[in-house]
Amino acid sequence: MTQQPVETVHALAYGAYPARCLQVVCEIGVADRIDDEPVPVGKLAAACGADPGTLTRILRLLASFDVFEERDGGFAHTVASRVLRDDHPMSARPLIRLTGLPMHLDSLTLLQHTVLTGEPALDKLQPGGIWAYLTEHPDQAEIFNRAMTSKAAADVPAVVGAYDFTPFGVIADIGGGRGHLLRAVLDAVPGAEGVLFDQPSVIEALTFPDHPRLALRPGDFFDTVPAADAFILMHVLHNWGDEQVARILATVRKSAAPGATLLVIENVLPDVHPTPAAVTMDVIMLALTPGRERTESELSALFDGAGFRFTGMTETSGTMRIAEAKAV
């Protein structure tokens, strides 16, 4: 049957409840207590330190969305609930825990402030913005970092599988964090050398063994970046407003010879008919940062202003899209 208009808006109005249930079961680790067979809710509750009756009601709601299944006197996994386990190779638990942090929930509560003022809601909680907030809340910062690592585990194979990096001799990952993407690219392209560029504190904190073709370079992408044949900006530009993005791109252009390639990898919105997931992420960025998820046309205009020419968009098997531009 066709959903009635009032049912559509009711579903949106109450959508926070299933989301919060999902966050809670991830926080207390329910999925890790279920293997291949249904587990009685009493046993689950005891393992998680929860009230059995309450946990039953929460899991029944999630089961109505095919996340867990109630059967044989207990709850069992579905394909969707398995990705909530910590040991799943594509575990979504860190990202879901992130959405349940106070910085997300409180910013959502303050979204009307953002609509009326244009200011990120998080700035009302922490005048210094998201990075200052995470510095002041190291427990939440730890979950944030785990979530970003988890997201990289999903995004990196999709990016490496979608784009041909073989033409480039030197590839610089600007704001590349712990280097998950760049290391995967270098493994896929044996002839390339890589430069991982990020803030000194990020570079100094790296603890894993060096890659034989990877150089580490600390710095500030508002000041200068190392030269390369290709520059990667993954999950970077969407954190910043247009003025800051223009500065970042101008900095990259100074180090890019004519013909050098710029790859912006993020949730680039199509100019028409973006998906609900894509525009939801845009509103999340609105609440937490001065940045945004940009459309193809908006990115192209920023490229033009910085001395790059937009040359195409590459789709990946995941949510990321790869916007390619050339230095002119």
* Per-residue pLDDT at 306: 98
pLDDT, tens digit, 9 for 90 and up, residues 303-326: 999 999 999 999 999 889 999 999
* Per-residue pLDDT at 209: 67
Locate all alpha helices (DSSP H) within 138-256, ordered by sequence: 138-162, 180-188, 200-204, 242-255
Q: Please, which residues have CB within 8 angstroms of residue 216's CB and are 6 or more apart in sequence?
A: 196, 203, 206, 210
Q: What is the mean pLDDT of residues 206-234?
A: 93
* Per-residue pLDDT at 207: 78
**How many Å apart are CA 54 and CA 59, to the nearest integer?**
9
| 128 pLDDT tier (thresholds 50, 70, 90) | confident
* Per-residue pLDDT at 174: 98
* Per-residue pLDDT at 4: 86
* Per-residue pLDDT at 159: 97
Question: Rounded to two decimals, what is the model's pTM?
Answer: 0.89
pLDDT, tens digit, 9 for 90 and up, residues 24-67: 999 999 999 999 999 999 999 999 999 999 999 999 999 999 99
Does residue 161 register a pLDDT over 70? yes
Does residue 90 register a pLDDT over 90? no
Query: What CATH code would you report for 144-327?
Result: 3.40.50.150
pLDDT > 90 in the chain, percent? 83
- The answer to whether the beta carbons of residues 269 and 319 sit under 8 Å apart is no
Fold of 5-88: Arc Repressor Mutant, subunit A (1.10.10)
- Domain positions in the chain are 5-88, 144-327
Residues with a catalytic annotation lie at 238
| Nearest Cα to Cα of residue 34 among 1, 13, 63 | 63
- The tokens describing 259, both together, are 């013909």
pLDDT, tens digit, 9 for 90 and up, residues 230-275: 999 999 999 999 999 999 999 999 999 999 999 999 999 999 999 8
